[in-house]
Amino acid sequence: MTALTLSTTAAPGLEADAIVVGVAKDSGSQSGDLVVAPGAEAVVEAYDGKLADVLGTLGASGAEGEVTKLPAPSGFKAPLVLAVGLGPRPEKDSGYDAEALRRAAGAAARALAGTEKAGFALPVADAAAAAAVGEGALLGAYSFDAYKENGKDAGARNGKAPLGEAVLLGGASDDKAFKAAVERATALSEELNRARDLINIPPNDLNPAAFAAVAEEAAKEHGLKVQVLDEKALAEGGYGGILGVGSGSASAPRLVKLSYTSPKAKKHLALVGKGITYDSGGISLKPAGHNETMKCDMSGAAAVFAAVVAAARLGLEINVTGWLALAENMPSGSATRPGDVLRMYSGKTVEVLNTDAEGRLVLADALWAASQENPDAIIDVATLTGAMVLALGSRTFGIMANDDAFRSAIHEAAEEVGEEAWPMPLPEHLRKGMDSPTADLANMGERMGGGLVAGLFLREFVGEGITWAHLDIAGPAFNEGAPFGYTPKGGTGSAVRTLVRLAELATAGDLA
Ligand code: BES
Ligand code: MN
Ligand code: ZN
């Protein structure tokens, strides 16, 4: 894992492999002139004030994420200067927004894979900007190469090792706020990267029991309470949804409860994650072309897990309980059939019309279990529907809720941390599509608005009077395209930062 440090050393004197500077498009001028962003004054000076011209000569445009490398000026201890595009220059030099900094730092860190140490001379006028640059660097440096090692030496790897250390230059390292910002960015990014690892681990190595073991290990390390219900305990408890989804698999399901409690807590937030370690569709088997990335179907549980551990590491003054609903959805002679009726943990019966609508079944049991503790709010996170991807694309998650203010608060928190999200409705008229002639309801309804139908299904399993929201992260959870900003290929860690921000806000009593 990349280390994040603060230094007051001026850029020329830093012993490092590279110095990162920011370059922006000066929209004020027609010719699309470049400006070097604040924080790199010493670098600009060493190029006789001509760094922007030099970059222009090299073809730099200042476009977001663009990377231009050039030899460092004489007198620099680092051999390389790396200019990263910040996009359009803001009106004020102090106005670079956090997400622009995060993305630029991420792109730079990724481009520096294979090096040991880099100084970041980006605009870090205050602690919030330092946090953004730090977060971007740590998240952008991430790579998943656990399965690429053919030998013990890194040279045998297909990829390069991630940047070893990111040094933030220009921030006052003795300043309490800067130190706190670096600590928060480190804890948050490490846990988010751990969620990415869990998503990227192939499904033959991460089954429900293996995921539960990872949670138990983390609980020990961070002083959390953990309870794992195995298939026997699930049967005794009547968790028909989780058992029904897991019944086709050779790897039995689990329900993990991970609790962080603070002695100063005034609020209790429950987080529920969909943890399908592989979604083949079950008897309603997915066709080829739709199953290759379905190891990502536990991204909700990975996000919840990371958020609970991050809350503990940050010592937030709130109680956070994470519920991981873990199962593998497979076809076999013991699998749930389309037409089967499951008796859920809440007592309601569900006719399974399509075994590929499995996420809502495991979540239903976990939502009801979470409801029994009467938390101040419940948020579930799930790669739930292809319909949400069709609606919002691959970078935006949908937010549904039984409370308008809560949905707005989540949307605002997402925006604040740089996650793209959008509010979605729960239209009442879609509920009757799930009426079943045999059971209390069916696990499918109208095809149109499929993401909202899934949300309405989940709502049936939230305890009376409890504030609840549902995040459908099916789009942004897994990046099948090229890396961008601080987002790698594969598991992204979608929703982790929003959940942690919400826990922080709830501490101050601003939520629910
Ligand atoms: N895990 C999938 C949803 C999904 C799709 C996640 C694409 C990530 C990317 C989910 O279990 C599923 O199969 N949903 C079905 C529901 C349908 C059968 C009602 C879908 O969206 O097609
Ligand atoms: Mn499915
Ligand atoms: Zn699924």
For residue 447, give the ligand nearest its CA. 1
Q: 458 and 470 in contact (C-beta within 8 Å)? A: yes
The confidence score (pLDDT) of residue 32 equals 62
Amino acid at 424: M
The confidence score (pLDDT) of residue 94 equals 81
Confidence (pTM): 0.97
H helices of 289-385, in order, are 299-313, 359-371
- Supply the residue whose CA is at minimum distance from atom 9 of ligand 1: 474
Q: How far apart are CA 159 and CA 143, in angstroms?
A: 9
**Cα-Cα-Cα-Cα dihedral sign, residues 329, 333, 339, 342:** negative
Same domain, 228 and 165: no
Q: How far apart are the first and last CA of the chain?
A: 36
Q: How far apart are CA 354 and CA 371, in angstroms?
A: 26
Residue 162 lies in a domain: yes
The confidence score (pLDDT) of residue 509 equals 78
Our answer on whether the CB atom of 358 is closer than 6 Å to any ligand 1 atom is yes
CA of 311 to the centre of ligand 3 (A): 27
Same domain, 165 and 203: no
According to DSSP, the residues that pair with 382 across neighbouring strands are: 472
Residues whose CB is less than 8 angstroms from the CB of residue 357 and which lie 6 or more positions away in sequence, other chains included: 443, 444, 454
Ligand 1 atom nearest the C-alpha of 290 is: 7
More confident residue, 170 or 366: 366
Same domain, 161 and 248: no
Same domain, 257 and 396: yes
CA of 359 to the centre of ligand 1 (A): 8
Closest CA to 501 of 479, 471, 462: 471
Ligand 1 atom nearest the C-alpha of 447 is: 19
- The answer, yes or no, to whether residue 171 has pLDDT greater than 90, is no
| CATH code for the domain in which residue 260 is found | 3.40.630.10
For residue range 138-165, what is the model confidence (pLDDT) as tens digits?
999 999 999 997 544 554 445 789 999 9
Closest CA to 385 of 307, 480, 308, 276: 276
- Is 286 designated active site? yes
According to DSSP, the residues that pair with 23 across neighbouring strands are: 36, 85
Q: DSSP per residue over 407-455, as a string?
A: HHHHHHHHHHHT--EEE----GGGGGGG--SSSSEES---STTHHHHHH
Residue 27 lies in a domain: yes
Same domain, 61 and 208: no
State the angle between helix axes of 299-313 and 496-507 in degrees (0 to 180), rounded to the nearest 10: 40
The confidence score (pLDDT) of residue 125 equals 86
Our answer on whether the CB atom of 383 is closer than 6 Å to any ligand 1 atom is yes
Residue 229 lies in a domain: yes
Both tokens of 462, joined, read 């939230």
Same domain, 301 and 244: yes
What is the average pLDDT across 468-486?
98
Q: Which residue has the tokens 């299904």?
A: 457
- In the set 360, 407, 497, 501, the catalytic residue is 360
CA of 393 to the centre of ligand 1 (A): 14
Residue 423 lies in a domain: yes
Our answer on whether the CB atom of 359 is closer than 6 Å to any ligand 1 atom is yes
What is the average pLDDT across 216-233?
98
- Supply the residue whose CA is at minimum distance from atom 14 of ligand 1: 385
Q: 464 and 375 in contact (C-beta within 8 Å)? A: no
What is the phi-psi region of residue 142: left when phi exceeds 0, alpha when psi lies from -120 to 50, beta otherwise?
Answer: beta
Same domain, 380 and 429: yes
The distance from CA 81 to its chain's CA centroid, rounded to whole angstroms, is 30
Residue 393 lies in a domain: yes
Q: How far apart are CA 444 and CA 351, in angstroms?
A: 9
- The answer, yes or no, to whether residue 442 has pLDDT greater than 90, is yes
Pocket test for ligand 1, best of 284, 298, 384 (most atoms within 8 A of CB): 384
Alpha carbon distances (Å) from 501 to 28, 222, 335, 386, 492: 35, 19, 39, 27, 17
Residue 38 lies in a domain: yes
| CATH code for the domain in which residue 47 is found | 3.40.220.10
Domain finish residue from 141, 174, 207: 174
Same domain, 209 and 102: no
CA of 381 to the centre of ligand 3 (A): 12
For residue 397, give the ligand nearest its CA. 1
Q: How far apart are CA 385 and CA 356, in angstroms?
A: 10
Residue 181 lies in a domain: no
Our answer on whether the CB atom of 297 is closer than 6 Å to any ligand 1 atom is yes
Q: How far apart are CA 83 and CA 73, in angstroms?
A: 14
For residue range 32-62, what is the model confidence (pLDDT) as tens digits?
689 999 999 999 999 999 999 999 999 999 9
Residue 183 lies in a domain: no
More confident residue, 460 or 92: 460
- In the set 77, 160, 179, 286, the catalytic residue is 286
Same domain, 153 and 301: no
Our answer on whether the CB atom of 472 is closer than 6 Å to any ligand 1 atom is no
Please, which residues have CB less than 5 A from ligand 3, an ion?
A: 276, 279, 297, 359
Amino acid at 349: T
- Is 360 designated active site? yes
H helices of 48-173, in order, are 51-57, 98-111, 127-140
Ligand 1 atom nearest the C-alpha of 359 is: 11
For residue range 67-109, what is the model confidence (pLDDT) as tens digits?
999 999 999 999 999 999 999 999 988 889 999 999 999 999 9
Give ∠ CA 186-187-192 in degrees, rounded to 5.
Answer: 100
Q: For residue 413, what pLDDT band results from cuts at 50, 70 and 90?
A: very high
- The answer, yes or no, to whether residue 405 has pLDDT greater than 50, is yes
- The answer, yes or no, to whether residue 30 has pLDDT greater than 70, is no
Q: What are phi and psi of 153, to 5 degrees?
A: -80, 140
The confidence score (pLDDT) of residue 59 equals 96
Our answer on whether the CB atom of 453 is closer than 6 Å to any ligand 1 atom is no
Average pLDDT score over the chain: 95
- Supply the residue whose CA is at minimum distance from atom 13 of ligand 1: 356
Q: 215 and 228 in contact (C-beta within 8 Å)? A: yes
Same domain, 151 and 15: yes
Domains identified in the chain, total number: 2
Pocket test for ligand 1, best of 283, 356, 457 (most atoms within 8 A of CB): 356
What is the average pLDDT across 194-201?
98
For residue 281, give the ligand nearest its CA. 2
Same domain, 296 and 263: yes
Same domain, 353 and 445: yes
Domain finish residue from 117, 142, 174: 174
What torsion, rounded to 10 degrees, do the Cα atoms 412, 313, 137, 214 define?
-100
SS3 102: helix
CA of 342 to the centre of ligand 2 (A): 17
What is the average pLDDT across 109-127?
96
Domain finish residue from 118, 141, 174: 174
Please, which residues have CB less than 5 A from ligand 2, an ion?
A: 279, 356, 358
Q: Could you tell me the residue range of the domain that residue 36 belongs to?
A: 3-174
For residue range 279-305, what is the model confidence (pLDDT) as tens digits?
999 999 999 999 999 999 999 999 999
Q: 133 and 180 in contact (C-beta within 8 Å)? A: no
Both tokens of 26, joined, read 């000066």
The confidence score (pLDDT) of residue 156 equals 42
